[in-house]
Amino acid sequence: MADEEVATKGPESDAQGSVVAGDTSAQKGPSMGVYITKPSDYPHLPSKLLLFLTSGTGIHSKNNQLQADKYASEGFVVVMPDQFAGDSLQNTATDPTAAPDANPSMIEKVKMGFADTAKSFMIDMWLARQTPEKVLPLLHKVIEGAKDEFADAVANGDGIYAVGYCFGGKYVLLLGSELPDTVAKGQTEKDEEQGVVKSGPQIKAGAIAHGTMITKEDIESLKVPVTMACTENDPLFPDDIRAEGQKYLVDHDVPHEIQVFPGVPHGQHQDLSTSIQTSTNTLPGFAVIGEYEDAKIKDAQKAAFEQMLSWLKSH
Pick the range with the lowest mean pLDDT from 21-25, 38-42, 174-178, 219-223. 21-25
CA angle 214, 135, 250 (to 5 degrees): 30
pLDDT of 288 higher than 80? no
Q: Distance between CA atoms of 73 and 24, rounded to whole angstroms? A: 12
Comparison of pLDDT for 275 and 152, the residue scoring more: 152
Region 205-231 average pLDDT:
93
CA 306, CA 76: separation in Å to the nearest integer? Answer: 14
Q: Which residue, among 277, 258, 255, has the nearest Cα to 268 in the 3D structure? A: 277
pLDDT value at 132 more than 70: yes
Question: Comparing 23-32, 160-169, 188-197, which segment has the lowest mean pLDDT?
Answer: 23-32
Residue 163 predicted with pLDDT over 80:
yes
Question: Average pLDDT of 119-144?
Answer: 80
pLDDT in tens, 197-212: 777 799 999 999 989 8
From residue 96, give the alpha-carbon distance in Å to each of 33, 115, 271, 300. Answer: 26, 16, 10, 26
Measure the CA–CA gap between 71 and 135, rounded to whole angstroms.
23
pLDDT in tens, 238-248: 899 999 999 99
Contacts of 23 (CB under 8 A, 6+ apart): 1, 37, 38, 40, 72
**For all residues of the chain together, what is the average pLDDT?**
76
Ramachandran category for residue 47: left, alpha or beta (phi over 0 → left; psi -120 to 50 → alpha): beta
pTM summary value: 0.76
Q: What is the pLDDT of residues 38-92, one digit of tens each?
A: 999 999 999 999 999 998 888 988 889 999 999 999 999 999 999 888 877 764 3
pLDDT at 182: 61
Among 203-217, 232-246, 292-306, the range scoring the smallest mean pLDDT is 292-306
Mean pLDDT within 92-108 = 45
Confidence (pLDDT) at 105: 55
Which of 21-30, 80-89, 114-123 is predicted with the least confidence, judged by mean pLDDT?
21-30
Q: Can you give the pLDDT at residue 6? A: 42
**Parallel, antiparallel, or unpaired: how do β-strands 256-261 and 32-37 relate?**
unpaired
Is residue 258 predicted with pLDDT exceeding 60? yes
The pLDDT of residue 158: 97
97-110 burial, b at 16+ Cβ within 10 Å, e below that, comes to eeeeeeeeeeeeee
In this prediction, residue 30 carries a pLDDT of 38
Residue 108 has pLDDT above 70, yes or no: no
User: For residue 183, what are the β-bridge partners?
Assistant: none
* pLDDT the model gives residue 84: 84
Largest CA distance in the chain: 66
Average pLDDT over residues 183-198: 58
Q: What is the mean pLDDT of residues 29-39?
A: 76
Average pLDDT value for residue range 213-231: 94
